[in-house]
């Protein structure tokens, strides 16, 4: 399967147009009906492509549940046991173990349900669903609308309409392409503002944070009560659309395994328990054309096999590239992940960045018995000392270490953390420190101080000495 995107323009046909000839004007001649062709664009997504994109994103536990359902529904499919490529072993008919199921429907499924309830034109609905599948795990959209329009060769107005529908979904902020847009979308939802009003308020974020509200009503064209409401809502906004800290962490299973060799090379293999191998039932192949239903089931089975094969091949290619790009980490020689982006990997492999994003989402690799998320190996570069670059992953680890070592009674503010990192040669802004801290689900300095005070109070009540 080539990585050319999921949509293709298709010419449509117009209706019948009534036209009067010159001779018919006032002469009692009936006007003629002449069929005409109209050129248009319509977005289509074949079931095979849709399933391939969905299954590429699924983590191992969810994939096995989806495969189990297909095996129960489609007699043409059988599972090939990893020990023997010639022995078919169907999955059990019973439900999967509860600990392998997600606690709630995945984000993509929730968004599609909401989009399905909207009154949208078919092409706008298709675009909104496509954009939903393009989202990162945190709900952001990496590619700007004009780049998506150019890649799909569709009008930017269509992408904008689909994005507008997506951004109308819950959670607020989903589909944002930047932090400012994410905050503006949340502000529209929480404070009941129009888009332009919310964007103007976010542009004055530093003034709101510093409490400089005098004259803000005139600057924004809002009444003082609305300005006060915005000031109360802004501290409650999240840096990412999707960050449910109350939800249980997803259960990771290794999709890939890395084995270091004596010569320093690393071999990457697929874990067949996480990526099951399916084939058509030989006994039913000849009966595929017997009925229309049998033909449809066989076509669906072939699409499922193609989706699984593409997922496995894509994961294996990405794993092999990561093993080369991050060789020291994979060989166990270092814990430092060098800066590497999804776009770099996509360009090296001839894929699109969104394909790489789907492939690594929720996936893990077993490196010498240690399970590590594939997302760990992608890290944007930050300027370091002497013109060098430092991976954002390493900066986050250092940030967590600084917070872990801080005095509980005097936690470090984001400004102090920023100064400490600057002193170590990392060129980082305070707002980036705040973003990384929130991404790691670490409380603010004020919240950490309250937590420490509460811990001391409980210890005092119990008569337990605490440093």
Give the pLDDT confidence of 268-299 residue by residue, as tens digits: 998 877 778 888 888 777 665 567 888 888 88
Strand (E) or helix (H) holding 418? helix 414-423
pLDDT value, residue 380: 64
How is residue 23 annotated by DSSP?
G
Single out the residue of 447, 437, 448, 434 nearest to residue 205, CA to CA: 434
φ/ψ region of 31 (left if φ > 0, alpha if ψ in -120 to 50, else beta) reads: beta
Bridge pairing between strands 381-383 and 364-367: unpaired
Pull the structure tokens for residue 377. 């190996």
For 462, half-sphere exposure in the C-beta direction (CA atoms, 13 angstrom radius) is 9
Residues (pLDDT < 50) of the chain are 1-2, 4-38, 40-42, 84-104, 245-249
- The alpha carbons of the chain give a radius of gyration, in whole angstroms, of 28
Strand (E) or helix (H) holding 337? none
Within 8 A by CB and 6+ apart from 353, the residues are 142, 143, 342, 343, 346
Q: How far apart are CA 362 and CA 373, in angstroms?
A: 7
Strand (E) or helix (H) holding 79? strand 77-80
Q: How far apart are CA 138 and CA 177, in angstroms?
A: 11
Residue 53 and residue 133 in contact, taking contact as beta carbons nearer than 8 Å: yes
pLDDT value, residue 349: 93
Partners of 372 in beta bridges: 365
pLDDT value, residue 27: 43
pLDDT value, residue 315: 93
DSSP reduced 3-state for 58:
coil
| Cis before 171? omega within 30 | yes
Cα-to-chain-centroid distance, residue 49 = 18
Single out the residue of 337, 338, 356 nearest to residue 346, CA to CA: 356
- Give the ranges where 119-204 is alpha helix by DSSP (H): 122-134, 145-152, 156-167, 179-191, 195-203
Single out the residue of 45, 47, 70 nearest to residue 303, CA to CA: 47
Q: How far apart are CA 9 and CA 26, in angstroms?
A: 43
pLDDT value, residue 174: 92
Sequence spans of domains, the chain: 179-236, 254-377, 381-461
Q: How far apart are CA 438 and CA 362, in angstroms?
A: 20
Distances (CA, A) of 362 to 59, 138, 139, 216, 441: 5, 12, 14, 43, 18
Cβ burial, residue 190 (10 Å; 0-12/13-18/19+): middle
Find the largest Cα–Cα distance for the chain: 108
pLDDT value, residue 48: 73
pLDDT value, residue 288: 55
Please list the helix, strand and coil fractions of the chain in percent, rounded to the nearest 5, in that order. Answer: 50, 10, 40
Q: How far apart are CA 431 and CA 444, in angstroms?
A: 13
Residue where the block lists tokens 């996509």:
346
Pull the structure tokens for residue 167. 């951004």
Q: What is the dihedral of CA 328, 330, 335, 339, to 10 degrees?
A: 70
Pull the structure tokens for residue 77. 């499919």
């Amino acid at each position: 399967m080539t990585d050319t995107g999921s949509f293709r323009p298709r010419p449509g046909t117009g209706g019948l147009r009534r036209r009067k000839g010159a001779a018919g004007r006032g002469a009692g001649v009936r006007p003629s009906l002449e069929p005409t062709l109209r050129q248009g664009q319509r977005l289509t997504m074949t079931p095979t492509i849709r399933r391939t994109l969905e299954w590429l994103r699924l983590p191992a536990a969810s994939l096995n549940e989806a495969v189990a359902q297909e095996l129960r529904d489609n007699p043409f499919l059988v599972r090939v046991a990893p020990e023997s490529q010639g022995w078919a072993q169907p999955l059990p008919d019973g439900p999967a173990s509860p600990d392998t199921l997600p606690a709630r429907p995945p984000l993509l499924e929730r968004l599609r349900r909401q989009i399905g309830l909207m009154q949208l034109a078919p092409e706008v609905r298709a675009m909104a669903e496509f954009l939903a599948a393009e989202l990162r795990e945190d709900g952001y959209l990496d590619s700007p609308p004009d780049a998506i329009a150019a890649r799909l060769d569709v009008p930017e107005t269509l992408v904008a309409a689909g994005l507008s529908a997506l951004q109308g979904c819950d959670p607020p902020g989903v589909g944002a392409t930047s932090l400012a847009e994410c905050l503006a979308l949340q502000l529209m939802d929480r404070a009941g503002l129009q888009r332009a009003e919310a964007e103007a308020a976010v542009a004055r974020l530093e003034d709101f944070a510093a409490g400089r509200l005098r004259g803000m009503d005139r600057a924004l064209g809002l009444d003082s009560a609305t300005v006060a409401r915005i000031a109360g809502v802004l501290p409650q906004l999240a840096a990412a659309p999707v960050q449910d800290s109350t939800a249980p962490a997803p259960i990771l299973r290794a999709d890939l395994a890395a084995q270091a060799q004596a010569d320093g090379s690393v071999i990457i293999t697929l874990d067949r328990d996480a990526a099951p191998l399916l084939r058509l039932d030989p006994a039913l192949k000849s009966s595929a054309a017997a009925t229309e239903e049998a033909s449809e089931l066989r076509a669906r089975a072939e699409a499922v096999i193609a989706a699984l094969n593409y997922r496995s091949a894509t994961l294996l290619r990405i794993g092999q590239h990561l093993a080369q790009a991050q060789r020291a980490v994979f060989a166990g020689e270092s814990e430092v992940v060098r800066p590497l982006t999804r776009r770099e990997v996509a360009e090296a492999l001839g894929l699109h960045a969104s394909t790489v994003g789907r492939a690594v989402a929720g996936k893990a690799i077993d490196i010498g018995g240690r399970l590590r998320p594939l997302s760990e190996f992608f890290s944007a570069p930050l300027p370091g000392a002497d013109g060098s670059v430092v991976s954002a992953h390493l900066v986050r680890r250092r940030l967590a270490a600084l917070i872990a070592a801080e005095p509980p009674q005097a936690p470090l503010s984001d400004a102090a953390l920023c100064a400490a990192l600057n002193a170590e040669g990392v060129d980082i802004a305070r707002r980036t420190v705040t973003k990384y801290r929130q991404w790691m689900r670490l409380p603010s300095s004020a919240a950490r101080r309250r937590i420490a005070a509460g811990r001391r109070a409980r210890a005092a009540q119990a008569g337990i000495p605490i440093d």
